[in-house]
Structure 1
Amino acid sequence: MNHPSHPLRILRFFSLSSLMTASTVLSTPPPGYSIPSLGLKDSPKVLVDEVWQIVAKTYVDGTFNHSDWQATRRELLSKDYSSKAQAYEAIRAALKKLNDPYTRFLDPQKFTELAQQTSGELSGIGARLELDKTTKALTVVEAMPNSPAFEAGLKSGDRILAVNGTPVRGLDVEKAVGLIRGKPNTTVKMKISRPGAKVFDVALTRKVIQVRIVTSAVKQEGSNRIGYIRLAEFDDHADEQVKNAIQSLEKQQVKGFILDLRQNPGGLLSMAVEVSRLWIDEGAIVKTVVRDGGSATDEANRTAVTKLPLAVLVDGGSASASEIVTGALKDNRRAIVVGTKTFGKGIVQQVNPLSDGSGLNVTIARYYTPNGADIHHKGILPDVAVPLTNAQAKTLADNPKLIGSPSDPQYAKAAQIVLKQIQGVSQSE
């Protein structure tokens, strides 16, 4: 499910948000897992049966949405497929019977893009781009330190006119980024317009870039310093980046933290667990239950890196992995949750690579918060509700630099709460 644009959605480096939406808690197949094969000579038919067997083996609902899944197999294998495109169409039609938007087939290109995003690494030039609202020009917002864009001297405000000779005016960011990205150690040529300078050409050598999903800052609130950490999604580097942010902020003498998970659509289940462990020393984090009733509970393992007061910011765009972290912090009384009700997705998908390079996401489990709450279609209610008015939301949308500032009502309330916690700690010492 895709969501409308929101003032708190932060820009990403070469984002693939159409794939990582507020529908994603991903897990990977267990070690040694292999795709069953019937040895059929017709490769499109083999692919169709791969998908059927994975769903039959792992799908969370043993009734398959009250459909006859064996009959579905007979129907699929009774057809002749003249191309993979026809097989893909048949697969998607069969999956619709499950009435589960999170169990979905991805063609090879989409599957590769998803794999790149969840890895937290992309091959490109390391520039954050946006469309200028007024000119509609593709504009550089920031060049990442030590990236090809940074080393080539690209600056905030530079406008990209063409990529490898192809004009980009009129293209959306996703399509323009598709032209810029490519294999590592290959060259991309761009025509750049810079205010006050002549149009010039630049050639950059692409390299693997670790996507920055964490932004952090010290916020001076009265006589106290609060560490503000905003996490955009849960890719394979989420725990590393959050941990680095916590440690850096503590060196700057902060007395408490605000973890901002607003509009964070989720990501890897393993990273939700590891990020939770950065804040919690002991206690349950999340319980997952599969089709046959088997369950597993992930717990804290005494690896928390801070015990300072904490508030968590959430809203309707905080989903899946974000809700796992929120539930763990709330149920263990580690943090005060501020904002509005979360999205409400309490199921887990497994990513399955298929033999032709395509992939299949299958819902394999339900998850519950430490207190046993099923949040699916319900969400998590904040401890302190702070809804935004339409006017407030528009102000933040028009001025994204105000997010995480006193002009951001949800942040302001969270800061007030953390300051009270800090004062309580000081009085007890």
Structure 2
Amino acid sequence: MRKRGFWVGLGCVCLVTLSWLGWTPQANAFTEDQKIFLQAWRIVNQAYIDDTFNDQNWWLMRQNYLRKPFDDRDDAYDAIEEMLATLDDPFTRLLRPEQYRSLQVSTSGELSGVGLQIDLAPETHQLEVVTPIAGSPAEAAGVQAGDYILEIDGFKTQDMALDEAATRMRGKIGTSVVLTVEHPEEEKTEKIKIVRDRISLNPVHAQLDTENSDTPIGYIRLSQFSANATQELKTAIQKLDNQGAEAYILDLRNNPGGLLQAGVSIARLWIDNDPIVYTVNRQGMFDSFYADHNAITDAPLAVLVNKGTASASEIVAGALQDNHRATLVGQTTFGKGLIQSLFELSDDAGLAVTVAKYETPNHTDINKQGITPDYEISQDPITVSQIGTEADLQYQKAVNLLKGNSVIAEAT
């Protein structure tokens, strides 16, 4: 299960593999457009987690679509999207070539756009803002975590795939996009014009807090599990340790996840010799990831979580909680316990497919349930500038727990 991976964009958590599926001799009779459809069908047939395919005859599905003529590649893409929609799984989806290229840009650590991390609300499938990226045009324009994006440049987002929404919000620096945004907390909807800019994807913010406690506390906020997140976090811990940190707060609030492998590697920075996560495929077979005796600190640790803490973030939070390594403070997490693999199609498109689910070290399936923190602290939305201040009730609770190393006693 230790496959090579990279971070898949705004709010989508994926274990990524590349696959080339060879054609059978019979495939030579098909058009190129039909071959693309068939390749997508085979990938789902072999990899999708539910081998009943949402209680459907998947072979009959193939036959029915092949009876329809495809006039061009867009027809084939439309057929693939219709086929995938029958699975009723928003995370299994087609990435058309331009969407796939945008995804690759996002893995470089820098892109141009509005600076929003987005996901689909689990119950309504509405396009929801997980969090605006700090310093981004979206944050400056007043878009907040928990807002719903109803339209992008007049295009309704209902039933719009995450990748399409992300693509529409990205664009050249200096160009603008108009978002129709619903603020649930304020019960109002407004149109917001945002000028795109370069977005830095540095995932780690760290500082030493010596004001809120007699115990010097290293505060680390991790915004995403990208390819460079582990090294950045390791560097931050070592720097804070050199500055005299005696305890740590790891802030995973509004972190939508990212690479599974990054989640495992980051958990290993804190856990020395325990299970981190179990994965379960459609045959019910388990694979496991363990710590490898390379933890770089055993200092007391508190972890901040909320409803925007998802996927790889939940892997880390669950591992730290179940292994009694840290105390969790905040609100119940998002509840995304599914793993997607990204398969590359032969025409530079891609296919994201749900291939497995994961369980925490205590074999808890958190999908659609989330992780309940040890201390539930509700909190009204705060701005980035208010994090760590008196307005940040969850942070203040974590500080109080860390005083006198009490978090170790609580955890054990």
Q: Is the 8 A contact 2:176 2:194 kept in 1?
A: no
Tell me what 1:281 maps to: 272
Q: CA deviation at 1:355?
A: 1.0
Paired residue type of 1:240? Q
Q: 1:337 to 1:174 in 2, by over 3 A?
A: farther
1:376 alignment partner in structure 2: 367
SS at match of 1:362: strand
User: What corresponds to 1:197 in structure 2?
Assistant: none
- 1:61 aligns to 2:50 (yes or no): yes
Q: Distance in 2 between matches of 1:347 and 1:55?
A: 15
Cα shift at 1:133 = 4.0
Aligned residues: 339
Q: Does the CA-based 8 Å contact 1:118-1:268 persist in structure 2?
A: no
Q: Name the CA shift for 1:167/1:352 in 2 (closer, same or farther; >3 Å).
A: closer
Question: What letter corresponds to residue 250 of structure 1 in structure 2?
Answer: D
Cα deviation, residue 169, structure 1 = 5.9
Partner of 1:106: 95
Q: How does 1:333-344 map to 2 (within 5 A)?
A: 333-344=324-335
Pairing 1:355-370 to 2, within 5 Å after superposition = 355-370=346-361
Paired residues of 1:342 and 1:380 also in contact (CA < 8 A): yes
Over aligned residue pairs, what C-alpha RMSD do you find? 2.8
TM-superposed CA distance for 1:121, in Å, is 4.8
Given candidates 209, 221, 224, the residue that maps to 1:219 is 209
Q: Provide the residue aligned with 1:130 in structure 2.
A: 137
Identify the residue that residue 36 of structure 2 maps to in structure 1. Answer: 47
Q: Structure 1 residues 340 and 423 mapped into 2: Cα distance closer, same or farther (>3 Å)? A: closer
Whether the aligned pair in 2 keeps the contact of 1:102 and 1:361 (CA below 8 Å) is: yes
**Equivalent residue for 1:230?**
221
- Code of the aligned partner of 1:212: N
Residue 354 (structure 1) aligns with: 345
Give the distance between the partners of 1:118 and 1:174, measured in 2 at CA. 26
1:367-406 superposed matches below 5 A:
367-388=358-379, 392-393=380-381, 396-397=382-383, 400-406=384-390
Deviations 1:230-258 (A, max 9, x none): 11111111111111111111111011000
Indicate how the Cα distance of structure 1 residues 174 and 20 shifts in structure 2: closer, same or farther if over 3 A, else same: farther
CA contact (8 A) 1:116 1:122 kept: yes
Corresponding residue number in structure 2 for 1:28: 16
Deviation at 1:77, TM superposition (A): 1.5
CA distance in 1, matches of 2:193, 2:227: 22
Q: For the residues of structure 2 that align with 1:65 and 1:423, how far apart are their CA atoms? A: 44
Instruction: State the Cα deviation string for residues 334-358 of structure 1 (Å, max 9, x = none).
Output: 0000000001111110011111111
- Equivalent of 1:416, from 397, 400, 404? 400
Q: Is residue 240 of structure 1 aligned with residue 228 of structure 2?
A: no
Identity %: 39
Q: Partners of 2:29 and 2:329 in 1: how far apart?
A: 55
How far off its partner does 1:119 sit? 4.8
Amino acid at match of 2:137: E
Which of residues 311, 321, 328 is equivalent to 1:330?
Answer: 321
Shift of 1:29: 2.1
Indicate the structure (1 or 2) with the bigger Cα radius of gyration.
1
- Deviation of 1:40 after TM superposition, in Å, equals 4.7
Provide the C-alpha distance between the structure 2 equivalents of 1:169 and 1:106, rounded to a whole number of angstroms. 24
